[in-house]
Amino acid sequence: MNEKLCPCGSELTYDECCEVFHSGEQLPQTVEALMRSRYSAFVLADDDYLLDTWHPSTSPEYLDLSDNPDWVQLQVISSDQDNDQGRVHFRAFYRDGKQLQCFEERSEFRKVNGRWLYLRGDIQ
């Protein structure tokens, strides 16, 4: 059992939160849950999960996470979903050397065959 807190900021342990999605045991049922699990996948450099949850029309062929920053915190500002479309506005904080930086995005998601997928993001 992994007692470490989940990187997504849910206040749950990783095995109670995003690990069930990363392992394929469960599918995220909301766009916010998918976004949080994708953030955790970036923190853990899980490129397979990221590619698997990316809409095929916008997904890259592969991801190189070798220069992945030191992700520090996720802040979900808002999320909403309607039928097969969803949106999440978030900020992700990371360390660049000794400085704290912020990445802000408004992400779009689509539900395909009952499964939420990341479509694209508008970086703020």
Give residue-wise pLDDT tens across range 50-94: 999 999 999 999 999 998 999 999 999 999 999 999 999 999 999
Cα(75)–Cα(36) distance, integer angstroms: 10
Q: Looking at domain 14-123, which of 3.10.450.50, 3.40.1350.10, 3.90.1300.10, 3.40.1260.10 is its CATH number?
A: 3.10.450.50
How far apart are alpha carbons 109 and 32 in whole angstroms?
10
DSSP symbol at 6 = P
- Cβ neighbours for 90, distance < 8 A, ≥ 6 positions apart: 35, 39, 74, 75, 76, 77, 104, 105, 107
Q: How confident is the model at residue 98 (pLDDT cuts 50, 70, 90)?
A: confident
38 token code pair: 């994708």
